[in-house]
Amino acid sequence: MAKDGPDWDGLLKWSIAHSDGTPAPRALSEEDRKWFMEAMQSQSVDVVKRMKEITLVMQTPEQVLEAQGVTSADIEDMLEELQEHVESIDMANVPLLGYLKNSHAGIRAKAAEVITTIVQNNPRSQQLVMEANGFEALLSHFASDPDITVRTKALGAISSLIRHNKPGIAAFRLANGYAALRDALGSENVRFQRKALNLIDYLLHENSSDCNVVRELGFPRIMMHLASKEDAGLREGALRGLLELAEDKTGGGSDGLGGEDEKLKQVLEERIKDIRLMSAADLGAVREERHLVDSLWNACYNEPSSLREEGFLVLPGDDDDVPPPDVASKHFEPPLRAWTANQEDNKAPDTDTDTANKEKEAEAEAEGTPLLLGFRSPA
């Protein structure tokens, strides 16, 4: 019987034949190129489809599965398959690093972006990338790639790679990563500067002793400059970093800003002046900045800022407890709330159950069922 799906044996032979170092590989014909792309796309779609199918099963009540003949062994096999898919994503780290060397800036940027997704909150993937010298490659692109988008994406990947990763943070320090962050703050790209400020804030919060390194490298003056910029995100990030330095007591002295107190006072006075002139709508948009300015003033001069005295710190509406938009409940409702609510419905004849399941499956296909690995099946 003919084998369904792409000819993976043939694809493997083709890949080996074209990666053995031969000096003049033949050009791909249009037919070969089309076959290759169809083979790759077919496999990708199959994996995504299986992940959605597994997710649908995970969201189905246990009684319904039992009624349809699904055994505990079947569930174990399904979870084992799911683990294989997840592990295959992890193992994609090492070959992916090769694309960081691509001559096309767009490909280098996309490779860094994919690495960001893979290593984020994933200790196993972080370890794999570190062992494959991925950190060094990312740091090189962050520090010196000629394309600013690549530098920005590489910085994002580094941030995800070293977050909650002590060996990664240690490697960042040893590789003089703070000097690269200082250069990033000196760029004219707002997105690049924002990402740098976010990473600085995380690193200083994790290890206050790094405040000394930051002071020695001249970060306080750079942050004061950014605190006067037009972009609100830059101002908030810079003020947050300055507050970390001002509150740090590891430097052995009261001057947490490296002799820049007078310059800081001018910057804060300018911010206070601008805030006083803002409309009500603009004041609401800079709520965090107002609090940062007041906290920084209090940390440096041991007194509340004039924003607090003049009533600009807490405005009408600031204390309203408005809940965030509910964007997740519909994903959790099927396995949690709906399972409890539908206990009586599950006792209906099998034909009704089958019809309901088909409707749910159709809805899941239409909406794109999310993969909720943190879901705990009902007992």
Arithmetic mean of pLDDT, 298-325? 78
What is the model's pLDDT at position 253? 46
Whether the per-residue pLDDT at 316 is higher than 50: the answer is yes
Arithmetic mean of pLDDT, 65-92? 74
* pLDDT bucket at 216, cuts 50 / 70 / 90: very high
More confident residue, 41 or 264: 264
* pLDDT bucket at 27, cuts 50 / 70 / 90: low
Arithmetic mean of pLDDT, 68-83? 79
* pLDDT bucket at 243, cuts 50 / 70 / 90: very high
**Out of 21-35, 133-147, 307-321, least confident range:** 21-35
Arithmetic mean of pLDDT, 12-25? 55
What is the model's pLDDT at position 373? 32
Chain mean pLDDT for the chain: 78
More confident residue, 339 or 36: 36
Whether the per-residue pLDDT at 184 is higher than 80: the answer is yes
Burial class (CB in 10 A: 0-12, 13-18, 19+), 264: buried
Whether the per-residue pLDDT at 323 is higher than 60: the answer is no
What is the model's pLDDT at position 295? 94
* pLDDT bucket at 271, cuts 50 / 70 / 90: very high
Arithmetic mean of pLDDT, 7-17? 54
Query: H/E/C letters for each residue in the chain?
Result: CCCCCCCHHHHHHHHHHCCCCCCCCCCCCHHHHHHHHHHHHHHHHHHHHHHHHHHHHHCCCHHHHHHCCCCHHHHHHHHHHHHHHHHHHHCCHHHHHHHHHCCCHHHHHHHHHHHHHHHCCCHHHHHHHHHCCHHHHHHHHHHHCCCHHHHHHHHHHHHHHHCCCHHHHHHHHHCCHHHHHHHHHCCCCHHHHHHHHHHHHHHHHHCCCHHHHHHHCCHHHHHHHHCCCCCHHHHHHHHHHHHHHHHCCCCCCCCCCCCCHHHHHHHHHHHHHHHHCCCHHHHHHCHHHHHHHHHHHHHHHCCCCHHHHCCCCCCCCCCCCCCCCCCCHHHHCCCCHHHHHCCCHHHCCHHHHHHHHHHHHHHHHHHCCCCCCCCCCCC
What is the model's pLDDT at position 339? 42
* pLDDT bucket at 357, cuts 50 / 70 / 90: low
* pLDDT bucket at 112, cuts 50 / 70 / 90: very high
What is the model's pLDDT at position 29? 75
What is the model's pLDDT at position 277? 94
Please indicate, yes or no, whether the overall pTM of this predicted structure exceeds 0.85. Answer: no
Tokens of 154: 């590489």
What is the model's pLDDT at position 16? 54
* pLDDT bucket at 372, cuts 50 / 70 / 90: very low
Whether the per-residue pLDDT at 378 is higher than 70: the answer is no
Whether the per-residue pLDDT at 325 is higher than 50: the answer is no
Nearest CA to 313 among 297, 293, 340?
A: 293
Nearest CA to 192 among 233, 241, 163?
A: 233
What is the model's pLDDT at position 108? 92
Residues 6+ apart with CB under 8 A from 31: none
Nearest CA to 96 among 68, 120, 125, 139?
A: 125
pLDDT digits (tens, 9 = 90+) for 41-60: 665 556 767 777 877 877 78
What is the model's pLDDT at position 10? 57
Arithmetic mean of pLDDT, 340-348? 47
pLDDT digits (tens, 9 = 90+) for 279-288: 988 999 999 9
More confident residue, 318 or 137: 137
